[in-house]
Structure 1
Amino acid sequence: MAAQENLITAAEFSQIQFDFLIIGGGTAGLAVAARLSEYSQFNVGVLEAGPLVNRLDTVDIPGLYGQTIGTEHDWGFKTVPQPGLHGRVLPWPRGKLVGGTSALNFMIWNRGSKEDYNAWEQLGNPGWGWDDLLPFFKKSETIHRPTLRHQTDYGATFDPEVSGTTGPINVSYPNYYPTTHQLWRQALNSLGIESNEAHLSGSNTGVWTCVNSITPEEQTRSYATNSYYLPNVHRKNLFLLTGAFVDEITLEATDDGSHKATGVTFTCNGQQHHVSAKYEVILSAGTVQSPQILESSGIGNPQILASAGKATKVDNPNVGENLQEHIMAAIVFETKTEVQNDQKSGNKGPDAALEEYLRHRAGPLTAVPSCFCYLPFVKALPEGKFQDLSRLVSGLPSSNLQSHSVTSERFDPKQRLGQIEYILDFGNWNQAFSPSQDDAKNYATVFQVLQYPFSQGSIHINSSTGNVSANEPTIDPKYYSGTHGKIDLEAMIHSIHFADEIARSKPLSNLLGPRVFPPKSITTDDEYRDWVGKTTITDWHPVGTCSMGGSRGIEGGVVDHRLRVYGVQGLRVIDASIMPLHISAHIQATVYAIAEKGAHMILQDHNVLA
């Protein structure tokens, strides 16, 4: 199906009396729109700033992952300078097209541990534990059973009890694996790390083969656009307007002193429009933009709103706070001379790989990273260093005692949570490492990703513009800053040594040569701290800026456990920003589950579902 830009004009869109109006046609927004529009009595409208793009190779072909980053399909967000990163500014890619970041991500499909979601419920958010979320994970997906060969040769597994089989997103194991795949698993097994035969069942610790959001028959990316939107584009009650930049949510004062969301003001093609919503406005603009839109509408910290020239309608200092993000270091190794960089191009070269893909839907361009391992710190860190970290954690001050209790419990040595993630991929993926142009060596990268960061930052509307459409949010993750950030930094520097152990272990050591970045000349903790600060990047999993408040209510967050914004009737947030604590997983599958559950709750509240 060819993409059709603006199936409806802004003027026409504005004249429709919508029952539900969704801000953001991305990962969560399209899933919510698809579920609500299943009921013909509701008119559902979606406002999306980016274009509708279909059949674009850099989106569709799995092996071209990453090539849309920094293009016109990326919002191009950046952090403010980070003192903990030696003053560096980091890019924060987010999808600027229909489908949002589901069109840009690396198609990793996994879930956090049971304890991750149970912690949300423990904070006072009933209905958000593992058992409650599992049906919505399954509702979003069709996981294709791996072949017997995949199961025996590559450790692919399938558990029908926890796998969805009728959902919109197609999930499958790769058809192609790099040379290192089996060797990675065997090397980790030799270090006492067990293979996980049920990594989607509530525990992802150990080493396992990842499934991906890829349609197996076509070997193309399965994402919100081609899974939730295009199959339903024929519905007469579903309307999508692209090129629409939201200025603010219309809030009308009510007799009881609160407010009600009645519509949205937006700009399209340079002209401002207003559109109404009879029942609800649903904000699904993501962790970066959802808090900005709330602030541009007068919901947030009065001081921040005043500095942006906005009148306060709902006083809530939690809007834009509680930002949590996975922190990543890329450790580069030489590969032995006989090893080719076959992850991207194969031994035949990039042209031959593309031809193989186009002709047969086979070869290296069908593959994305599949070598995964999640470990508790007690496994990855030397015993003394783990104890040092535990002491730092136990001594932390915290204004949120509930949250502090949960995060502290994760350092109990009896816990078996995936606190640190390791991924292996061919090629040099560290932009700070630049071999000379005449360097004929090949490289491989071990990614090391911190899963439960103690560093917490914020995202707010830019006070100099006060306009969310200006695309200049103030993103301050506060990487490695303060007492909390020191824990993250120490965890990262000491986890590098386990990456070295993996690379030195047979049979992987038959392919991987010496570590080249950080260079072997680095030996002391201070030198590792300096290197980590100079090279750390984001893993593109920001959460928490409109989090559920739990038992503390508006004192602890932005939305209640049914995702309703405190102090406003008819306004919900449904996206990754509602997560009160980070999870040990890539967030794609969880965002779809949040969207499915959010849509279900809306339908319940409007007496459609029991």
Structure 2
Amino acid sequence: MGNVSSTDYIIVGAGSAGCVLANRLSADPSNRVTLLEAGGPDRSIFIHMPAGYFQLMRTGQIDWGYNSLPQPGLGGRRLHVPRGKVLGGSSSLNGMVYVRGDASDFDHWAQLGNRGWSYSDCLPYFRRSEQFSGPANPARGRDGPLKTTRNAIVHPLAKAFVEASKQHGLPYNDDFNSGADQEGVGPMDCTLADNRRYSSAVAYLRPALARPNLSVITRALVSRVLVEKGRAVGVEYVTGREKHTILADREVILAGGAVNSPQLLQLSGIGNPDALRAVGVTPIHDLRGVGRNLQDHPAFSVKQRCTQPISYYPMTKTLNAAVSLAQYALTKSGPAAGNGMEAMAFVRTRPGLAAPDIQYFLMFLMYEDSGRRILQEHGFMLYYTLQRPESRGSIMITSNDPGVAPGIDFNYFEREIDLVTMREAVKIARDIFAQPAFDPFRGGEYGPGPDVKTDRQIEEHLRNNAFSNYHLSGTCKMGRDADAVVDDQLRVHGLDGLRVVDASIMPTVVSGNTNAATIMIGEKGSDLILGHHTAELAESA
């Protein structure tokens, strides 16, 4: 078994939920907690500098380097799938947008049979997690570890976007996290404070690092969960060339996210037996839903040339970027001190929907390929995502080697309604850009371009150019049906001592950026593990 040690709780993955768990479980000094992270420390200035996420996306220096399988619905293209491999996980890599999701998302989880996961059940955990610096609102938290800030709408293009959206017919929405209907246009909330990123590692892990009962091991690749007589008893992991075994006296908790949690279960023999045997893994527990139910927010952007030299395009030039970096390093100020977004909108593409199905962000430059290609002219774009996709994909291992990436199959546009909704979103974006508020700035349309007019042309363009917004979820689904992997206590069905606590447990992806909801899952999961209850939390809030 190699080097053997023991602890009470093993947490696999120091991402958005894992850092929350490490903090909350180790708050009791009698609990010995070990947190294992495949990546390294979060020391890079590009992590903590808000605008640094463009550099992180371009270089891939703190992610797993994943790409999807060829996508039949996208003309056989492989998509870039950045996933954080560092303390803080993807919360150290993302664009820092803080959106909890629509209240109906969580009520739907409860309607599916998941007790304790309605919006009213989850709200106390959102509040407990958050330290919001904006206007008072009973739905918002004031004393939590995760600092969130409301971006001011000051850029001329952002002001034009808000006004144009209202001219289009959208209401103004001053708080997308209030629990009210998301529809409307308004300011963006971000996990930023004091001109720095607030990842889960900064908010939750760093304050707990001095606790003697918390051990954090980085560059530790977990290869297998150890199961004996129907109970998870520990894990095996590798650091460098050295193999280790750590035993859990209480629980093993997977928090690796929607890719790595199902991958580890499958490597451990937990999943579809036929699929496991096909890649050389001996099945130990038949749980066919592991890796199924993958959901994501497909993304696209409508790009517009700008007639005034006010876009962020010059800031991407090497010299200007170096100056911004130096200014931030010296003074924590300047262009690099923000995430480059100020306003966003949620819209319904058709009447009768329970919640908006499209989310728009106005970007002050035009780029492609996760920011790895900046378009070399002044422009702006409406970047948008499909909020409630009906297509479902999968995460399946292709080898019994934990170092080999699993097969990521988004299966975009399996359901035609997803393509139709994204097509209609192109039309809405064009109509917003056509409003009088954009008259001082509107040049020609860069993309899809004036030649892409008909429904069929737009759909073909989407198949050739849509991409991921990196909100992977659902692959260890919470529920009671045949595809469910965990119950509403986040315990893996049919096994003792094993839970999954991350975005993979979402039965359906939330309507918005997934980081806030994943942190909430970490908060609620910690209470489930410790035996606390939502009602008690609500009374003390």
How much has 1:273 moved relative to structure 2? 1.3
Paired AA for residue 242 in structure 1 = T
Mapped to 1, the partners of 2:128 and 2:314 lie a distance apart of 32
Q: Write the distance in 2 (CA, Å) between the matches of 1:176 and 1:361.
A: 20
Q: Distance in 2 between matches of 1:434 and 1:568?
A: 43
Q: Distance in 1 between matches of 2:255 and 2:495?
A: 16
Per the TM alignment, residue 178 of structure 1 is displaced from its structure 2 partner at its CA by 2.7
- Contact kept? 2:311, 2:380, Cα under 8 Å: no
Match for 2:507: what amino acid?
A: P
Q: Report the CA distance between 1:566 and its aligned residue.
A: 0.3
Q: Closer, same or farther in 2 for the Cα pair 1:354/1:178, shift >3 Å?
A: farther
Q: How many aligned positions are there?
A: 531
Contiguous gaps of at least 5 residues in structure 2: none
Q: C-alpha displacement at 1:23, in angstroms?
A: 0.6
Alignment partner of 1:477 is 2:410 = yes
The answer to whether 1:209 aligns with 2:143 is: no
Cα deviation for residue 356 of structure 1 reads 4.5
1:377 partnered with 2:349: yes
| Aligned-partner residue type, residue 132 of structure 2 | I
Change (3 A) 1:319 1:242: same
Match of 1:567 in 2: 494
SS in 1 for 2:446: strand
Amino acid at match of 2:25: L
Taking structure 1 as reference, are residues 366 and 345 closer, same or farther at Cα in structure 2, changes over 3 Å only?
Answer: farther
Provide closer, same or farther for how the CA distance between residues 78 and 274 of structure 1 changes in structure 2, counting only shifts above 3 A: same
Q: Is the Cα–Cα contact under 8 Å of residues 144 and 165 in structure 1 kept in the other structure?
A: yes
Aligned in 2, Cα 1:21/1:172: closer, same or farther, shift over 3 Å? same
Out of 587, 590, 605, the residue aligned to residue 514 of structure 2 is 587
The Cα shift of 1:359 comes to 4.7
Of 456, 459, 462, the residue aligned with 2:392 is 456
Counterpart for residue 356 of structure 2? 418
Distance 1:547 1:177 in 2: 41
Q: Give the deviation of 1:310 after TM superposition.
A: 1.6
Report the counterpart of residue 153 of structure 1 in structure 2: none
State yes or no: 1:302 paired with 2:273.
yes
2:262/2:290 contact within 8 Å kept: yes
Contact 2:139 2:178 in 1 (8 A): yes
For 2:428, the equivalent position in structure 1 comes to: 498
* Cα deviation 1:557-610 (Å, max 9, x = unaligned): 00000000001100000000000011111011100000000001111179xx89
One-letter amino acid of the counterpart of residue 546, structure 1: C
Counterparts of 1:434 and 1:41 in 2: how far apart (Å)? 47
Seen in structure 2, the aligned counterparts of structure 1 residues 245 and 353 have a Cα distance that, compared at 3 Å, is closer
On the 8 A contact 1:342/1:364 being kept in 2, the answer is no
On the 8 A contact 2:349/2:424 being kept in 1, the answer is no
Shift of the 502–175 alpha-carbon distance from structure 1 to 2, 3 Å rule, reads: closer
Q: Deviations 1:37-76 (Å, cap 9, x if unpaired)?
A: 000111000111111122x221111122221124231101
Q: Which sections of structure 1, spanning at least 5 residues, go unmatched?
A: 1-9, 146-157, 254-258, 379-412
TM-score by length of 2: 0.93
1:547–1:580 Cα contact (<8 Å) kept: yes
CA distance 1:491–1:286, change in 2 (3 Å): same
Q: Show CA shifts across 1:155-209 (max 9, x none).
A: xxx2331111111111112368432122111111111101112321123211010
Structure 1 residue 325 and structure 2 residue 296: aligned?
yes
State the Cα distance separating 1:358 from its structure 2 match: 4.1
Q: What is the aligned-residue RMSD (CA, Å)?
A: 2.3
Match of 2:102 in 1: 113
- Note the C-alpha offset of 1:301: 0.4
Q: Does 1:68 align with 2:1?
A: no
- The equivalent residue for 1:488 is 418
Deviation at 1:36, TM superposition (A): 0.2
Give the TM-score of the pair, scaled to structure 1: 0.83
The structure 2 residue matched to 1:180, chosen from 143, 157, 162, is 157
1:97 aligns with 2:86: yes
- Number of the residue aligned with 2:525: 598
Pairwise mapping of residues 36-55 of structure 1 onto structure 2 (< 5 A)? 36-54=25-43
Letter in structure 2 aligned against 1:466: N
User: CA offset at residue 210 of structure 1?
Assistant: 0.7
Q: Cα–Cα, structure 1 residues 39 and 529, in superposed 2: closer, same or farther, change >3 Å?
A: same
Q: Which moved more, 1:99-108 or 1:202-211?
A: 202-211
Code of the aligned partner of 2:94: N
Distance 1:493 1:75, change over 3 A: same
The change in CA–CA distance for 1:353 and 1:179 in structure 2 (over 3 A counts) is: farther
